[in-house]
Amino acid sequence: MAHVVIRVGENLIESVITKRSADEMKLKVGDVVFAIIKSTEVMLEKD
């Protein structure tokens, strides 16, 4: 599992995703991502 924290202005969105998903998106500190919030789920997307 990977703990992901996204800064939106002064706010933080925290999510837990699989390590595989983080690896496939090649996520690293400072990346710009989009948060898609769906009721009880948050999905991440990277351009």
In 10 A of CB 28, how many CB atoms? 7
Spatial separation of the C-alpha atoms in residues 40 and 28, rounded to whole Å: 25
Name the DSSP letter for residue 14.
E
The structure tokens listed for 46 are 């990277």
Supply the pTM of this predicted model: 0.70
Spatial separation of the C-alpha atoms in residues 3 and 14, rounded to whole Å: 7
The structure tokens listed for 21 are 């998903």
Q: How confident is the model at residue 39 (pLDDT cuts 50, 70, 90)?
A: confident
- Residues 2-31 pLDDT 10s: 999 999 999 999 989 999 999 999 999 999
Name the DSSP letter for residue 10.
T
